[in-house]
Amino acid sequence: MTKKLWFQVGVGILLAMLIIKYFMEIKGILAPLVIIAKAIFLPLLLGGVLYYITEPIQRFLEKRKVPRWGSILSIFAILIAVVWIFVAIIGPPVTKQINNLVDNAPVITKEITVMKDIILQQKNDLPPKLEESIDSAANSIQSIAVNFGKWVVQFLQSFLQAMFLLILVPFFFIFMLKDHEKFAPFIYNFFSEKRREWIKKTLHDIDTVLRSYIQGQLLISFLLAILLFIGYLSIGLEYALLLAIFGLFMNLIPFIGPWISAVPPIIIGFIQDPKTGILAAIVMVVAQQIESNLITPNIMGKTLDIHPLTVITVILAAGNIGGFLGIIVAVPTYAVGKAIVKNIYARRKEIKEAATSTV
């Protein structure tokens, strides 16, 4: 019976529950370690993202006999140039649009309230269930309208805090560029023979998943932002650049992000002019169709191979556990876990086949 899969899975679940139980009981002892982990998590995450973005540049340079220190200096020079271009060219219009948005926040709030009142005036002609849905949505809109200005200020404060944390990012980034080949050998050299090969393959698969996801998702989001910016400019939508940048960051959240990014341009478009609001919705639909049917299949392919329903479930669970940051890291974390489980299953199958062949 102990060789049955259901028995082994059950024992594994029980052991996992016991580990979680005892971990929760000693969490007070581990509190300092948790605080340290939280402090370094975000800089480590950003450093890893920068590494995967710039690693192809480093590989390209070192294939042409550029030494490691030369490739690192070249990458930093490129990043500084990109930041300078952003600050010099994109920064002023973005700052201007943010200031305009903050100044116009009371007007936007008032317009949202007016739109809500117009909808509520027409609700008596609708079915009862639809009336309840409209009441719920109206309450949500009212809450958004009241807190809109406060959210803008909080966003700016959080942005400044994040910029302060970025001081630590270059340290992690430099060490990743300098010693990234040493990480995997440091782990799999603790093992021997076939187990070493399995650990080596698992680490390679994890690296491939993270590389494909980060590089692909950022490139897709950048191309989508360009499409949105061109579309918003063509219809004369206000805050076009700011909304396109917002779309870029929201598209980093798989499946749900594009829907979130559609709300502000449509609302601002309707406040500006109902025709502009409709055109903004059309721009979003066209851009999303181009992204999902042309850009994503050619860049990402089937690297992650995750069902959309799984993506939604993972994102909702991660959002409840870790908030916005949990949503960002949910899909790559799931993909890494999936790669590990696949390798464990493949290794277990090899051991089972080897055992049966010797009998």
Q: Is the pLDDT of residue 141 over 60?
A: no
Q: 229 versus 36: which is more confidently predicted?
A: 229
Q: Name the residue type at position 337.
A: G
pLDDT per position as a tens digit, 201-235: 888 888 888 888 888 888 888 888 899 999 999 99
Q: Mean pLDDT check: name the lowest of 87-96, 162-171, 237-246.
A: 162-171
Q: Do 309 and 316 form a contact (C-beta atoms < 8 A)?
A: no
CB 68, CB 178: distance < 8 Å = yes
**What letters, b where the CB count within 10 A reaches 16 and e where it falls short, cover 109-139?**
bebbbebbeeeeeeeeeeeeeeeeebeeebe
**The whole model's pTM is what?**
0.69
The Cα–Cα gap between 57 and 50 comes to 11
- 271 pLDDT band, cuts 50/70/90, is confident
300: how many CB neighbours lie within 10 A of its CB? 17
How far apart are alpha carbons 183 and 185 in whole angstroms? 6
Nearest to 177 by CA among 70, 65, 282: 70
- Alpha helices, H only, the chain: 5-25, 31-63, 68-85, 91-103, 105-121, 128-165, 169-188, 193-235, 240-250, 257-272, 274-290, 296-299, 308-358
Compute the average pLDDT of residues 14-38. 68
Average pLDDT estimate for 244-252: 86
* Mean pLDDT on 94-123: 69
212 vs 151: CA distance, rounded Å:
34
Q: Residue 356 pLDDT more than 80?
A: no
pLDDT tier at 37 (50, 70, 90 boundaries)?
A: low
Most confident of 88-92, 164-168, 277-281, 328-332: 277-281
Range with the poorest average pLDDT among 43-47, 243-247, 300-304: 300-304
CA angle (208, 212, 215) in 5-degree steps: 135
Instruction: Give the model's pLDDT for residue 49.
Output: 87
19 residue type, one letter: I
User: Which of 41-45, 119-123, 262-266 has the largest mean confidence?
Assistant: 262-266
Give the model confidence (pLDDT) of 66-76 as tens digits. 898 899 999 99
Q: Residue 197: its pLDDT value, please?
A: 85
What's the mean pLDDT in 320-336? 78
pLDDT at 148 over 80: no
* Whether residue 143 has pLDDT greater than 60: no
